Amino acid sequence: MTAQHKAALAKGREEGLAVRRYLEAIESSRPRRGRRRTPASITKRLSAIESELATADPLTRLHLIQQKKDLTEELGKGGETEDVTALEKQFIKVAKSYGERKGISYGTWRTAGVSAAVLQKAGVARTRG
Q: What is the chain's alpha carbon radius of gyration, rounded to the nearest angstrom?
A: 21
Task: Write the pLDDT tens digit of every residue in 11-69.
Answer: 899 999 999 999 998 887 776 777 777 888 889 999 999 999 999 999 999 999 999 99
What pLDDT, on a 0 to 100 scale, did the predictor assign at position 75?
Answer: 82
State the Cα–Cα distance between residues 125 and 129, nearest whole angstrom: 9
d(CA 26, CA 45): 28
Q: In the predicted model, what is the mean pLDDT of residues 86-95? A: 93
Instruction: Note the pLDDT of residue 81.
Output: 55
Percentage of residues in the chain with pLDDT exceeding 90?
66
Burial of 101 (0-12, 13-18, 19+ CB in 10 A): middle
pTM of the model: 0.62
Mean pLDDT of 108-126: 93
Per-residue pLDDT at 129: 46
CB neighbours (10 Å) of residue 94?
20
> What is the separation of C-alpha 109 from the centre of its chain, rounded to a whole number of angstroms?
15
Q: Give the pLDDT confidence of 11-21 residue by residue, as tens digits.
A: 899 999 999 99
